A and B are shown apart, each in its own frame.
Chain A
Amino acid sequence: MRKQRGLAACLVAGFALAPAFAAQAAEPVKVGILFPLTGNAAAAGQASKAAVEVAAEIVNGAHPELANIPLAKDAGLPNLGGAKLELTFIDHQGNPSVAQQQALRLITQDKVHALLGAYQSSCTFTVTAAAERYGIPIMVGDSAALNITQRGFKWTFRATPIATDYAATYMRFFDDMKKAGRQIRSIAVVNENTDYGTSVADAVEAAAKQNNVPVAIRIPYSASTTDVSAQVLQLKEKQPDVVIFISYTADSILYIRTMKNLDYLPPMTLGDDSGFSDPSFVPAISDIGQGLMNRSAWDVGKPGSTTAKINEMYKAKTGRELDDTSARNMQGFLALADAINRAGSTEPGKIQAALKATDLKPEQLMMGYRGIKFDETGQNVLASTYLIQLKGKEYALVWPQQAATAPLEWPMKGWK
């Protein structure tokens, strides 16, 4: 009996595999993915890893319910004979030199066909350099530092909005606020001092200068710090109307708590994603940080919408809501998969050409971008973002007004 069943199974398997063998192309497409899975930013890295796994599941499985997302409807990549995406996750610990070594390993030993990564801009710098040297296409899902795409690289593509997009968004927001009669006499910029924080802070400072918004103080600091009282006292002394934090997770929580301890509440606190979007952030400060703002290109949307369904998939896997950082990585991965499919090949040059020809419309995306289309530097020219505000234990979309789902509160309540 057992033998017979085994024979039957072999036959069934044989028939099932036959078309694939005929096409000779169903070999999996290997994608190497680099995130900080341990270290300071491990929580964000792990969340992004889970999100990319969900994205791979959307591509590899049949998901007719997500039909507006390219490749979701049928299983695998149709132009490659239904080939599946095979993911190799690598932990770079937030260390740029480890990131570079691991990228080289993925390219030369694991022979991946494409790369995705790498969260911290400092790591993305080294990883993209390795990809450029070996001619392997790399999709940057979420790193925001300006010059990642300004080094004349031909193999780097970035779906996410970047520092200048964010800075421009903040200025448009301030303009709107002034028109609504809110006072913004000066702002403060507090940034962690690696590539990410520095480049975003530079962009904000430059945009503020252009828009005649005085920057009262700029405070660069190290994210591994255990005490920020001195910085909060500096802010307290300058009394800016908006404090912009470009920070990672533990430091973001530490700042909000220290502000409460030293009784300093600015009219508005605006986080530049990252730490403010980390799953640990809101539970840690929701009782004292009411009304603080954050940016996000991700919004769950109405029940039954594609984004809500994707959020459900992610929640089933992790028990948490999808956050902006992870969602941007997911979108980057989906755009990469779409390009590989259009290339119809795992040849790096063909994938690169397909990436260059990418033209995804807003309705094909899970993010609030205006589309995905890369310029000659590899930067998505249609990237943009929303602003969200903490209400209770959740963020609500409050700006721009035409997309808002809740009214904007100004000044923030904090703990009062």
Chain B
Amino acid sequence: MAIAVKNVTKHFGDFVALDDVSIDVPDGGLTALLGPSGSGKSTLLRVIAGLEQPDTGQVLISGEDNTATRVQDRNVGFVFQHYAAFKHMTVFDNIAFGLRIRGEGNGTIRERVRKLIELVHLQGFERRFPNQLSGGQRQRMALARALAVEPRVLLLDEPFGALDAKVRQELRTWLRRLHDDVHVTTIFVTHDQEEAMDVAEQIIVMNDGKVEQSGGPRDLYENPASEFVMSFVGPANRLGTAWVRPHDVEVRHEPNGQTTEAMIDRIVHLGFEVRVELTLTDGEQFSVQLTRDEVDQLELAEGQIVFVRPRATRVFSADGAAGSPAAEPEVA
């Protein structure tokens, strides 16, 4: 394991940021820490980096216990949400910072910085200052700066959170490819489940300072271990005690004994996908995901009465944990 966190607890005053958290991150992988704000994901990343000290527990990097190691000596690369660019230094000097601290020679520094600038596509920007770069360029500079010292692990704290949607999408793809080239064990924090599923091989879902579940993107989506994971990773509807994904619902005009009646409130066209928002007879809100063709075929319209049947539901025990697929498709 490249990174192992064992039973880490961290308080800020009365607030429990991390509650007995243990995770394992495999060597060379790209792992996402996913959770809503206040779930403890950023605190966990900062504990791994050494920017926060845990109250109890251990942090192991490459098998060594680094719990008491100073941040300077951990040799981790850290990328901040708001870039943390050294504003008074040029792009070149920003990237060279860690190498200069380590007392590398000028020739080595020039060569290494040149390679990194190529890697993050900032050729021609060497003498610019951070305020002369766009947000995406600053974040790529910050990434090059973190990679310059050849860190054992790369930690990214909501790296694309401050960027607009299009740049975020581009950088995601680019990070994925960069990781294929550089192969450094990487953990990135995000609150965006789509981003996590897009980029990461392994996702660790956090909530309320605890790890809810970890696994591959598909595994989390198809076998959520708790109501929280079900509702946070991907869209989900609640039907009484059961949960159903919006694309696991059949919509028809005639009842067939297994269906329940609903009225269409709104039809939202999202390109290829169409989201149909419904209200059940008991007043519960519900949404169904269909393709454009299905909607055309069914000739759905707002205000219409239709009949719906979940194809697959999932029931969690009373404490919200230990989910199991319901044996029979059931209707609330």
A binds B: no
Using a CB–CB distance below 8 Å, which chain A residues touch chain B?
A: none
